[in-house]
Amino acid sequence: MTRQEFISKVSALVEQEVDEETRLAAILTWDSMCAISFIVMADKDLGVSVSPPSLLQCTTVADLANLVKDRLV
């Protein structure tokens, strides 16, 4: 998965256009459902297990990308 494809996946999850600079706190739809959907996506599409503590530390979309950076091309 490319970094751009990843951003598109996250945009679909939160149902709005985001970029790497977008702050999670600014995404009104970012809630526990999105967090779980993100964990599922990382596991299913990228084979990465994302831990809740590491997810909680994320403040931007770029931080989310960093959780799975080894699987992005």
In the complex, what is the shortest distance from the CB of residue 55 to other proteins, in angstroms, rounded to a whole number? 7
Distance CA(36)–CA(21), nearest Å, equals 21
Which x/- pattern over 53-72 shows residues binding other proteins (rule: CB under 8 A)?
--x-----------------
Other CB atoms within 10 Å distance of the CB of residue 33: 10
Distance CA(26)–CA(72), nearest Å, equals 24
Nearer to other proteins, 26 or 47 (CB): 47
Q: Which residues bind other proteins (CB under 8 A)?
A: 32-33, 35-37, 39-40, 43-44, 49-52, 55
